[in-house]
Amino acid sequence: MDRRTLLVLHTETGSPAERLYTRWGWTQVGAIPQYALSPSGVLAGTTLMARTLTPAG
């Protein structure tokens, strides 16, 4: 039996991924400015997101 009830991730603030996760039902739970280093070497904010899982059955 899988007992996971919560998923958590972080993604670059304002990115297409953030909008995608929001459309898929993830909830923004926080943000950290200048946390993630982009491929171009610029520090960007990160958005923390969570999604509650519904138990099967």
Average pLDDT over all residues of the chain: 90
- Contacts with 15 (C-beta within 8 Å, 6 or more apart), sequence order: none
Q: In which element (H, E) is residue 23 found?
A: helix 16-23
* Residue % of the chain over a pLDDT of 70: 93
Tell me, what's the pLDDT at 4? 81
Residues 28-45: pLDDT tens digits? 999 999 998 888 899 999
Q: In which element (H, E) is residue 18 found?
A: helix 16-23
pLDDT band at 1 (very low <50, low <70, confident <90, very high): low
